[in-house]
Amino acid sequence: MNMQDKQIEKLIKNEEKRQKSIINLIPSENYVSKDVLTALGSIFDNKYAEGYPYARYYGGQRYTDELETLCQDRARKLFKLKKDFWHVNVQPLSGSPANLAVYLALVPKGAKVMGLPLSSGGHLTHAQKVSITGKVWEQLPIVLDLKTELIDYKKMKEDAVREKPVLIIVGFTAYPRIIDFKKCREIADACGAYLMVDMSHFAGLVAGGVYPTPFQYADVVMTTTHKTLRGPRSAILFSRKDKKIGDKSISTLIDKAIFPGLQGGPHMSQIAAVAVMLKEDDSPAFKKYTKQVLKNGKVLASELMRLGWRIVSGGTDSNVILVDTWMNGKGIVGKEAEAKLEKAGIICNKNTIPGETRSPFDPSGIRLGAPAETTRGKKEKDFILIARKIDKVLKGK
C-alpha cells in the first residue's frame, strides 16, 4: 500500500497490525478475501444507480445493471432458491436498514412485532425500545425457558395467538442453538403473522449446510453479509414473490421501502463485493470451512465447561457461544472478563445472559465464536489451547 494520505495510510496499517496480532473470538466478525476487498475498493464506487436493474434514474447503467442482476442470481443459487418464488434485493446498506425496510413495508405503524429481546439474544432491530423499530412498532417478546435457556415455543404460541403480532422475526445475535423454523411457521400461521428470519449470524452456516435453512418456512429472510458469510459489510433481503398485501406482492413493497423509502443510490462497489463473496461461498472449500466453524466452536465450549465455566444452554450449535463468567458471584463479570482477555490478546465482547440480573453495560457474561479464527486456519487443537488461555486469564493464573 502506498497512499498519498499518510495519516490514513498509517491508521490502516496500524489496524492491519492489530488484526494480525490478536485472537478474534467475536462471532459476528470475519476476514474477507483479497478479491472481496478489490471489488469493494473498485471504480463501481463512482457510479450513481438509483432505482433497480433496467429501471434507473440515471444513464450509464450498462455494467451496474449486469452486476446487480448477477449478484441477485448468485444469491438465489447459493441458497438454492427458485427465481419464480424468491425475489432478492441486494441494495440494503446493512442489516438494520434492511430490517427497518421490511417493517415499513409490511407492518402498520404502532402494530406488534414479535421478536427476541436483546437480553435473550435478539437484535436491537427486533423492535427493541432504544431502536427506531421499537419506537414505531411495539415489541412482543419471545420468551426463553430459563431452565433450558432455549426459546419456549409453547409460550411463544400462546402469546402470539393472544396478542396477534403482524410480523414475527426470529434470528439472533446471542442465541447459541438451532431455531425451530417449522414451529415458528406454525405459530405465525396460528396468529396470521408474516414470518421473517434474520439469519445474519448463521447465514454462512446455512449456505454450508450445517445449520437448517429457513427458506421453506419464511416469507422474508434477511442476512447481513459480513459475518459467517465472510463478505463485505452489507445485507441481502429475500422475499416471497407470491405473498401479497392487497394487489401488491410483498417483494414490491419491500423494494419500495428500500428505495426510495429509506435509501438513495445503492453502493455498487459493495454489491460487487457481495457478488464475489456469493461465488466464493458456493464452493466445497466454504462448506468445509463452515463444518470447521462448528467443530471449533463445540470444542471451545466443551473445554471451557471442563475447566469449570458455565456455558449458556450447555453448548452451541451455531457460531455463538455464551459464557456465564459471573456464575452468580462465583466468577467475574463480563466487562472485566472482556478487558482482561483484551490485555492478553483475545478479543471478545461482554454480553447479557438469559434472565440477566445485571445491566447490559455490566452484564454477567461474554460472547465467543469461532468464525474469524477458523478463517485463519485454526483447528480443534488450537481452540483447546485458546480455551485454556481464556481460563488462565479469567482465573488470574
360 marked as binding residue = yes
> By the 8 A CB rule, do 226 and 233 touch?
yes
**Rule CB under 6 A: which of 47-66 touch ligand DSN?**
none
Under rule CB under 6 A, residue 119 binds ligand DSN:
no
Nearest distance in Å: CB 123, ligand DSN: 6
Distance (Å, whole) CA 253 – CA 243? 11
Nearest-5° angle of CA 307, CA 313, CA 315?
Answer: 55
Nearest distance in Å: CB 89, ligand DSN: 19
Ramachandran region of residue 63, left (φ > 0), alpha (ψ -120 to 50) or beta? alpha
Under rule CB under 6 A, residue 173 binds ligand DSN:
yes
Under rule CB under 6 A, residue 363 binds ligand DSN:
no
Total length of the chain: 397
Name which of 95 and 141 has its Cβ closer to ligand DSN: 95
Name which of 56 and 350 has its Cβ closer to ligand DSN: 350
Distance (Å, whole) CA 230 – CA 236? 14
Active site residue 338: no
Name which of 266 and 369 has its Cβ closer to ligand DSN: 369
Under rule CB under 6 A, residue 350 binds ligand DSN:
no
- Distance spanning both ends of the chain, measured CA to CA: 41
Under rule CB under 6 A, residue 352 binds ligand DSN:
no
User: b/e for 28-61, b at 16 or more Cβ within 10 A?
Assistant: bbbebeeebeebbeeebeebbbebbbeebeeeeb
Judged by CB under 6 A, which of 28, 296, 313, 318 binds ligand DSN? 28
Q: Grid coordinates representing 221?
A: 429472510
Active site residue 48: yes
Active site residue 5: no
Catalytic residue chosen out of the listed positions 76, 233, 243, 340: 233
**Rule CB under 6 A: which of 220-249 touch ligand DSN?**
none
Q: Where are the beta strands (DSSP E) in 126-275?
A: 138-141, 144-145, 150-151, 167-171, 194-198, 220-224, 235-240, 244-245, 248-249
Q: Which residues does the annotation mark as catalytic? A: 48, 50, 198, 224, 227, 233
Binding residues for (6S)-5,6,7,8-tetrahydrofolate, as ranges, are 118, 122-124, 359-361
Which positions touch ligand DSN (CB under 6 A)?
28, 95, 123, 173
